Structure 1
């Protein structure tokens, strides 16, 4: 089966699909060295990073037509490009959510109303600037957390901007399979955020019975009303043994890295094509991945990338605020995983030197 995988970073989906025996075209915003190794063909498409792909769709379709995929899978990059997603859905066999479903769940007011109707906790939202309290200013339809600001810092009001009350607690993600009224939890993980903001910086697999019970209850209550299909994820806040829904991600999730030993692409396809939710065994090991960001501009030619790094860039210049690479570790406890990540950080500091590492945010806490 020939799969085209489209995402700002298609590496992990391509690697899982390759291991499962699929022939992969990776359409990616970066096309790093690992993605090149994980796919039979790669195409760097700027529309995945610009969030406004109208001028680039013809070039994308030319590449997809030449590859002639049996199916298309989508990760991040189309959240703010509804027209592009609709065109993709109309032209190819896209295994994922319908455009109208994506549009609904990515509309903050619709999702908030849905949570309220089903008595699922979710922070208040506002269309106009609040006068008191702690709020976050966000842009509807965006992804990755780069767009999130404390409301006092929001200097420019955008047409798709809105405010969401700041909910204290631990940021977590719920990865799940869905089809109609049926939903299966794959895993729960802590979300790692950029030290200087809310950008996604990785995740750590969690094992907490109370959290898993709450996650299953939330999914069974809310997801049937969302109309989702296949692998999706929910961002939430875990506070005082209550989950508060922050956002729904109606697409493949980067957190799949934590569960990459499972046949996730096969499960997604079975769910989307045949309505089957296969049983997936729960991983026993602890795991964590973190994204290394550039604080200041970094020349890739100045860096050496060991084989144990992931998302290794293939060249060029990395601008401030952009990802450089990723670190991954597994172990029998949270502490063992944290020590392994810190060891890799120390090895990189030795390899790259103080000057370069002062320009980098490792996001290991």
Structure 2
């Protein structure tokens, strides 16, 4: 997206897939971005950035769980995004719960001690991607650990919003359904939603919670859509993977303009349907990277994919939801022919 909008890009990524290598001017792989950065990792990252002398840094997911490293980058470079204090505040589930209540926005109850009854989720504060979320009951053996907390489970449709926060206002970019891996809560993609009532409710929600949150730039919000009402689950105070659904808009320019206190370029609503699906390996599989079709996204560099790791992504857009599903199913069928039945039995396509 940044390249398309005219920027010169050094991409620092945990996977450095084929698409990233092809798109960026330079790519540096840093697997530790999936975890907490060690002192050596942070030094190596700073050395690489110093050699490039970037005009600004844009940060995606992961570093909100490593605020010490994030703060170090903020002090050294022009980081276009939320201040460390804002991230720490927004990612605090108890602050968010109080903030929502103060603005009359619904959100599931959270607590720091094991519940006595009912259905709950156990989460780790500051994390992203959903891999840290677990179902909880009295026999699960999970007690308070570090930054862990409990959030009351709420049935309904998981949805997300991509938005731009600009001083005392917000602009909704789009609303989408959130996909999760079967039986767990790991992020597995998004699909655009075209529900006028939901869109209106989401903009009203953003108008309530964003103005005094300290947020700037592009952020995302996760919620549950239940019986015509939204319940906030969490706010992700950084660039989001859901931006893929809106990649034709000048989102990088909008993000930078907001962070610099300038006017945001006009972003047109999307009328067509689209879906982005992350394909995961259930167990270690072997594929031939040289045979991967060009229409696959996030194509891996290595042929060995460990269980639980992403393999690639599928994307489709069309005039209707049914047409999108048909296109995704067709791509799945082509991959089944390419990789064979045995391999595909151990893959989650997450196209629904």
| 1:111 is aligned to 2:96 | yes
Q: CA deviation at 1:318?
A: 1.7
1:53–1:81 contact (8 Å) kept in structure 2: no
CA distance in 2, matches of 1:165, 1:117: 19
Tell me by how many angstroms 1:303 deviates.
7.8
Shift of 1:156: 6.0
Query: Within 5 A, what are the aligned runs for 1:74-153?
Result: 74-152=59-137, 153=140
Residue 48 of structure 2 is aligned to residue 59 of structure 1:
no
| 1:157–1:319 Cα change, 3 Å | farther
> Which of 294, 308, 314 is equivalent to 1:327?
314
Give the 3-state SS of the residue equivalent to 1:207 in structure 2.
Answer: coil
Indicate the RMSD between aligned Cα atoms, in angstroms. Answer: 1.3
Verify the 8 A CA contact 1:184 1:277 in the aligned structure 2: no
Q: After the TM superposition, which residues 223-302 of structure 1 pair with which residues of structure 2 at under 5 Å, given as runs?
A: 223-301=210-288
Conservation of the 8 A alpha-carbon contact between 1:144 and 1:200:
yes
Distance 2:338 2:287 in 1: 14
1:364 and 1:304 map into 2 onto residues whose CA distance is 22
The corresponding residue for 1:12 is none
Structure 1: distance between partners of 2:68 and 2:40: 12
In 2, are the aligned partners of 1:178 and 1:277 still within 8 Å (CA)? no
Aligned to 1:8: none
**How far, CA to CA, are the matches of 1:303 and 1:162 in structure 2?**
44
- Distance in 2, matches of 1:303 and 1:323, equals 17
Q: Secondary structure at the match of 2:57?
A: strand
Provide closer, same or farther for how the CA distance between residues 32 and 154 of structure 1 changes in structure 2, counting only shifts above 3 A: farther
One of 129, 135, 150 as aligned partner of 1:163:
150
2:340 paired with 1:360: no
Aligned to 1:42: 27
Shift of residue 319, structure 1, vs aligned partner: 1.3
Say yes or no: does 1:173 pair with 2:160. Answer: yes
**Comparing 145-154 and 261-270, the one that deviates more:** 145-154
Q: Deviations over 1:183-236 (max 9, x none)?
A: 100000000111130000000001111001101100001111211001000000
Cα distance between partner residues in 1 of 2:113 and 2:262 = 41
Distance 2:141 2:49 in 1: 39
Which of residues 350, 357, 363 is equivalent to 2:337? 350
Q: CA deviation at 1:316?
A: 4.8
Residues in 1 aligned to 2:100 and 2:290: alpha-carbon distance in whole angstroms? 47
Q: Check whether the contact 2:167–2:261 (CA below 8 A) recurs between aligned residues.
A: no
**Residue equivalent to 1:9:** none
- Equivalences, count: 350
TM-score computed with the length of structure 2 as normaliser: 0.97
Cα deviations by residue, 1:254-292 (Å, 9 ceiling, x for unpaired): 000000000100111111113322220112211001000
Aligned mate of 1:312, from 292, 295, 299 = 299
Aligned-partner Cα distance in 2 for 1:145–1:185: 23
- Matches of 2:309 and 2:336 in 1, distance apart? 19
Distance 1:302 1:282, change over 3 A: closer
Q: 1:360, 1:303 → 2: CA distance?
A: 19
Q: Displacement, 1:55? A: 3.2
2:108 and 2:61 mapped to 1: Cα distance? 24
Provide the C-alpha distance between the structure 2 equivalents of 1:295 and 1:79, rounded to a whole number of angstroms. 27
Q: Give the alignment's TM-score, normalised by structure 1.
A: 0.93
Match for residue 204 of structure 2? 217
User: In structure 2, do the counterparts of structure 1 residues 53 and 80 end up closer, same or farther at CA, with 3 Å as the change threshold?
Assistant: farther
Q: Distance in 2 between matches of 1:208 and 1:302?
A: 39
**CA separation of 1:52 and 1:151: change in aligned 2, threshold 3 A:** farther
Q: State the Cα distance separating 1:317 from its structure 2 match.
A: 2.5
Q: Is the 8 A contact 1:46 1:53 kept in 2?
A: no
Q: Is the 2:287–2:339 contact (alpha carbons within 8 Å) kept by the matching residues of 1?
A: no
